[in-house]
């Protein structure tokens, strides 16, 4: 099965991808109907508009659960306390832009179905990328992580949702210095690699960012907030931060050039792009794309690279995409 991309690929006025179902304001009447537990958090804000207290982790978690139930037909979704509760609209944007990337090698048509295999590096406890990618396009996923508790959570979510369970496999990365080694099996192929890298360099950096977040939301951060800041250490920080993580991922990707078609990663900081492009040049990629994304006032970008020469690319496309 395939889906034709509209000729106008520009994002909507709010910056989100045109196929993103979260482009409009949250419909709390609808969301509380499918997920009654959300109702306790919904009230009128200062503007007289229904909203939730986004400074309350329980409220955000309830909102995510409602969104996933309504838009992605989940029967069950939950994450352990202290693990990252990601914004669903932004995650959906990544998946839809990645789908366009695959379509660029498929006559502008998004390839669908379980034969399209995706590797999610650092899948986390929430398994949100596989949820969205499988529901929207029917892709199958392998999710890797260095945290066994996160993988246990991801596997539980998949097993409690039968259609997703058949399309998701969790794999433990035993060596945190590696991204592909120990995960990608010999002769195994992936059409797409996705990654949401840790943003901060240290736990202190992450804690300070949480303090700023609570301040922006009109609340002073407590010791518990900074100790348990909606994400564990492997989700939030990495020595050297986002740039070091992506640079090492790029260097290792060279050795899997024939097993993965498109490698991609989210890049939160635009000022990192110059250094990232330099790293990509060193490994002799054949194509690099930078895709800009925005959700309201927040902007980010998706960096994508491949090592496929024209002949190899045609063979891959004919064997996998054209069928």
Q: Which pLDDT value is given to residue 1? A: 45
Between CA 253 and CA 245 the distance in angstroms is 12
Check if the beta carbon of residue 88 is closer than 8 Å to that of residue 64.
yes
Between CA 128 and CA 88 the distance in angstroms is 8
Distance of CA 111 to the CA centre of its chain: 19
Between CA 30 and CA 179 the distance in angstroms is 40
Q: Which pLDDT value is given to residue 240? A: 85
Domain assignments of the chain as residue spans, ordered by start: 2-24+82-198+238-321
Total length of the chain: 323
Q: Which residues of the chain have pLDDT under 50?
A: 1-13, 223-229
Record the pTM. 0.88
Q: Where are any strands of DSSP class E within the chain?
A: 2-4, 43-44, 50-51, 109-111, 117-121, 140-145, 168-172, 190-195, 260-267, 287-295, 298-306
Q: Which pLDDT value is given to residue 9? A: 42
| Angle of the 57-72 helix axis to the 128-137 helix axis, nearest 10 | 20
Tokens standing for residue 17: 């991808």
Tokens standing for residue 278: 């330099």
Between CA 99 and CA 132 the distance in angstroms is 11
Tell me how crowded residue 177 is: count the other CB atoms within 10 A of its CB.
10
Q: Which residues, in sequence order, are bridge partners of residue 142?
A: 119, 169
Between CA 246 and CA 132 the distance in angstroms is 23
Q: Which pLDDT value is given to residue 299? A: 87
Q: What is residue 221's DSSP assignment? A: P
Tokens standing for residue 224: 């518990």
- 2-24+82-198+238-321: which CATH architecture? 3-Layer(aba) Sandwich (3.40)
List b or e across 128-156, with b for residues whose CB sees 16 or more CB atoms inside 10 angstroms: bbbbbbbbbbbbbbbbbbebeebbebbbb
Q: Which pLDDT value is given to residue 11? A: 38
């Amino acid at each position: 099965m395939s889906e034709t991309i509209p000729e106008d690929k520009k994002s909507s006025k709010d910056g989100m991808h045109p196929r993103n179902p979260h482009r409009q304001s949250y419909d709390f009447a609808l969301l509380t109907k499918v997920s009654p537990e959300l109702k306790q958090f919904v009230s009128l804000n200062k503007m007289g508009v229904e909203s939730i207290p986004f400074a309350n982790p329980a409220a955000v978690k309830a909102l995510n659960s409602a969104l996933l139930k309504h838009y992605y037909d989940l029967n069950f979704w939950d994450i352990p306390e202290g693990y990252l509760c990601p914004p669903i609209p932004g995650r959906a944007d990544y998946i839809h832009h990645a789908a366009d990337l695959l379509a660029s090698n498929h006559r502008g048509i998004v390839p669908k179905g379980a034969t399209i295999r995706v590797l999610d590096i650092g899948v986390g406890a929430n398994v949100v990328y596989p949820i969205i990618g499988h529901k929207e396009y029917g892709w199958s996923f392998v999710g890797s992580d260095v945290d066994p508790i996160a993988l246990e959570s991801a596997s539980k979510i998949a097993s409690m949702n039968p259609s997703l369970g058949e399309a998701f496999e969790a794999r433990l990365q035993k060596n945190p210095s590696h991204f592909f080694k120990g995960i990608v099996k010999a002769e195994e192929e992936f059409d797409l690699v996705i990654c949401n890298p840790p943003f901060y360099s240290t736990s202190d950096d992450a804690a300070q960012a949480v303090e700023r977040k609570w301040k922006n939301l009109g609340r002073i951060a407590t010791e518990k907030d900074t100790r348990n800041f909606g994400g564990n250490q492997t989700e939030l920080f990495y020595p050297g931060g986002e740039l070091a993580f992506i640079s090492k991922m790029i260097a290792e990707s060279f050795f899997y050039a024939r097993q993965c078609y498109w490698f991609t990663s989210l890049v939160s900081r635009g000022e990192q792009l110059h250094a990232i492009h330099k790293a990509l040049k060193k490994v002799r990629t054949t194509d690099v794309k930078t895709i800009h994304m925005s959700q309201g006032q927040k902007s980010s970008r998706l960096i994508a690279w491949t090592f496929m020469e024209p002949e190899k690319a045609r063979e891959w496309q004919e064997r996998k995409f054209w069928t």
